[in-house]
Structure 1
């Protein structure tokens, strides 16, 4: 009977795999991008423009009779109608007078009717107390658009003769606002270029191309107002009709590259 031999362990050769990871070559550090050499200039410009348009505001009003507050339980429809009729008649007469003074109908705007109560102190009683009175005020605003400022004195006279209750003033403006603001902006840019050229010549450097430009102040109107009151309208001197000028300001910031 054959004798079984013990199994010898199979000795497998160890396979050593050497993996060499090749590192990428070191790159030299990139130099930080240099700040571009630049010359930055800020400039502001102001120009005075003679206005060629005006808006005149006035008001007409009428009142209902004043009655004791304790009796004013409701508005008297007859009193309101009478006051409104008087107001409409005066407004119609004023419009006719303005047209006769040379103002076109489309330049006259009669605003909406405004109705509001008013409280007034009454006569004192024997005890010294005053009873409050109540009345209703009906008011209509009138707005005039003038494209010919030579008409202003004549129209003010027409308003005065028509007996307006309030002249709220004159606002002067420009028919071509965009054109005026463009001129102010151009003036600011020209001033910035002049300053940059002067600085470059003084420092002995050359100006390259414009690399940045921005507004630091948008063109702003500073209109001239002429305020008037009903009490002072008759004594208003002719010289006060002069419109003066409107100030327009603009500002810019411009950067030029310095030529190498």
Structure 2
């Protein structure tokens, strides 16, 4: 798959990302069932043609990225750590499908917001993991960072909450180079509108999406924690 991906890397966006995703969807459509991890999606009707969304998803393991990138309908990009671009071969894929950011650099973070706005303006969805890093806790979700919600408010773009189930069972936290086959469920929930919201509504919006995702996860995951969602600061 590297040769066609390398070829499309020379195209401009959004065509580059569209071709890359088309290749990736064929590739993952074969690969994931072969390794015993078929992906089943639910809620695709929430995506409307010609409408862009900020998709916020929980993050449990490294396998989340090859599930979410081809699994979100339409052309989409994600936010990736700058060091991922340095990985041989796979770094090329991250550079095509992702917007690279150095989290320790203020200028890089500001530029990443500009690039994400540009992606939305070009008709692409942004797929973001508001927990920031993988959730290694026993709880359904970790505390959310502000970035995804600032983007959605500033761009006046609706948010689609999304939840991955069972990826933590495939790659168990704390076990290195370890994986077990398991079905993956990828659910999209109804959009949360941001029209008319300002940054003054940031905490309210973040808490609303967090509670929607927490409640849905605890209802649909057999081994999810059943305690009420904590308040966000």
User: Under a length normalisation based on structure 1, what TM-score does the superposition of the two structures give?
Assistant: 0.22
Looking at CA atoms only, which structure, 1 or 2, has the larger radius of gyration?
A: 1
**Structure holding more strand per residue:** 1
Higher relative contact order (CA 8 A, sep 6+): 1
More helix by share: 2
